[in-house]
Amino acid sequence: MPIDNAKNEKLPIQVYKKIKDKLLYLEILPGTTLQERDVANMFSVSRTPIREAVQKLAIEGWVEINSRKSIVVK
């Protein structure tokens, strides 16, 4: 599911919204552990926008960031 680069939103914001939608609609289930590189591949983007999006999701309590670039869905 590539990100639409034609939008005026910055890439990390687009990624954040896409991930949050997947969490809200339970396309990614609580307890799931994701690797940063797999999420980057899922959206066809580099890891940097993934990191920024995941940090925002962690602050909001949606995910937990673990060492070794893994992300656990809450």
Residue 9: which pLDDT band, with cuts at 50, 70 and 90?
confident
- pLDDT single digits (tens) 36-70: 999 999 999 999 999 999 999 999 999 999 987 89
Q: What is the CATH number of the domain that holds 63?
A: 1.10.10.10
pLDDT of residue 3 exceeding 80:
no
Handedness of CA 41, 49, 15, 45 (dihedral sign): negative
Who wins on pLDDT, 67 or 4?
A: 67
The verdict on residue 3 lying in a domain is no
Domain limits at 19?
Answer: 11-73
Q: Is the pTM of this model over 0.85?
A: yes
The structural domain count of the chain equals: 1
Cα–Cα distance between 68 and 74 in angstroms, integer? 18
With respect to residue 1, please indicate whether it lies within any of the assigned structural domains. no
In a domain, 5, yes or no: no
Distance CA 7, CA 67 (A): 32
